[in-house]
Chain A
């Protein structure tokens, strides 16, 4: 445990040291603190950069992703030169550049029930910035079992939520939401989009709470759910109460479970092969149909703003949400192929049409992204 700061560190942290709420004592608390960041993406990026700058002594990073060009609109810890690099490596480089006096520990693995307790146990505080429900529940349960505060934030389009779970007798994620939504009902950032600056604001709420917990200053965002709406520029606060059955001790979390199964999603480690049915059609086959002059209708069920990004010339735009009202525009006996971005929405559209009596409906597998990959490389991927 560090008991003092070097002269270089004193110079670096002088704006902290002259504040009574931090001072030498607080800065040493920061230096001796160990914080684990789950995810170095939209939320993890600002959290990691500011906690590094603030002088948090040991920062763990859990991420097994690589930097993709589509990350750079918001993940400011990574730059154009980092595309293709491991996110933990790129993040470490930026953090060490900001502050060489900190230690960065990299875990280039997916967090699982098998490794979570082992990884988390060495840390004082966890900051959860992942992007999926199974990991959210896993991080929560591991924090409950280990008694580590979980500084939580999540984002969607232009809205964010933040709170502090598992601190002392405070509520946990399961007190707020006992169960995950069924797969597909709540879109991810990759599906629903996210305003690039949103994770900056919400991630810094997270970073602020981490710093406050370390310093023991102020009122932690505990038992309160902070909601942020960037378009309205409004913050609202709702109460989170601990499950009444869990007073004193959590009665819900006993051990780590299979979170993929709990959330009803296939295992990431061993993805199930996509079901190939006679009602699927590959993009290459659709291209053959078009080239052969076959009589069929190609329907694009994406949203108009996605259609503006890229389209297949032949396709007719009928957004999934409008489809029920527009069924009479289609011939029930026509040969119909549906497509969307990745194949999920068009599968729903196919089900809808079949349930309405359409007889020859097929889903183009992989959507327009697969089309760009396999048929027409001039179509941009988004």
Chain B
């Protein structure tokens, strides 16, 4: 099962977990499994049309899925999916 790493700002929507293992053969399926298990996560990851929000990037291992097959990118056990939202803090 692929592992999804949850970033700090979104952990509050995933019972404070920093990583979850989910089933799914593609990134889209894995994220669907994540939001099914943690429904509050959904509106933070996806817009009303169900598309990934533009300030949230998703990586399989170290590669941005926008440069792979997007949500159809295949994942297998041992792959790490990272959700990386933009943060702006500096002060």
Contact = CB atoms under 8 A, between A and B. Distances in A.
B9 A41 contact: no
Nearest to B63: A239
A13 B35 CA distance: 55
Identify the interface centre among B9, B63, B87: most chain A CB within 10 Å of its CB.
Answer: B87
Interface in A162-210: 176-181, 185-190, 192, 194, 199
B51 interface: no
Interface in B2-59: 7-9, 12, 18, 40, 44, 53-55, 57, 59
B54 A232 contact: no
A86 interface: no
Identify the interface centre among A177, A178, A180: most chain B CB within 10 Å of its CB.
Answer: A177
Nearest to A74: B91
A81 interface: no
A232 B18 contact: yes
A26 interface: no
A131 B89 CA distance: 4
A132 interface: yes
Contacts of A321: 12, 40
Contacts of A129: 90-91
Nearest to A71: B91
A238 B64 contact: yes
Contacts of B86: 133, 154, 176-177, 180-181, 186
Interface string A125-157: 000111111001000000000000000011111
B90 A238 contact: no
A156 B55 contact: no
A156 B64 contact: no
Contact of B91 (A131, A185, A186, A227): A131
Contact of B89 (A181, A189, A236): A189
Nearest to A198: B89
Interface string A26-61: 000000000000010111100000000000000000
Contacts of A181: 53, 55, 85-86
A157 B90 contact: no
Given A181-B55, A186-B55, A321-B12, A237 B62 contact: yes
B68 to A, nearest CB: 11
B8 A157 contact: yes
A46 to B, nearest CB: 12
Contacts of A188: 88-89
A44 B90 contact: yes
Contact of B55 (A130, A153, A177): A177
B87 A131 contact: no
Interface string B60-91: 00111001000000000000001011111111
A158 B57 contact: no
B84 A156 contact: no
Contacts of B87: 154-156, 159, 161, 186
A232 B5 CA distance: 12
B90 A39 contact: yes
A225 interface: yes
B90 A42 contact: yes
Contact of B90 (A130, A186, A239): A130
Identify the interface centre among B18, B55, B57, B67: most chain A CB within 10 Å of its CB.
Answer: B55
A227 B86 CA distance: 12
B83 to A, nearest CB: 11
Contacts of A71: 91
A43 B91 CA distance: 6
Nearest to A129: B90
Nearest to A136: B88
A86 to B, nearest CB: 15
Given A43-B91, A131-B89, A157-B8, 11 more contacts: A39-B91, A42-B90, A130-B88, A132-B88, A154-B90, A155-B90, A159-B7, A186-B9, A186-B87, A239-B67, A241-B67
17 contacts: A43-B90, A132-B88, A133-B86, A154-B89, A161-B84, A177-B55, A181-B55, A186-B9, A187-B9, A189-B89, A225-B84, A236-B82, A239-B59, A239-B63, A239-B67, A321-B12, A321-B40
Interface of A: 39, 41-44, 65, 71, 75, 128-133, 136, 153-159, 161, 176-181, 185-190, 192, 194, 199, 225, 227, 229, 232, 236-241, 321
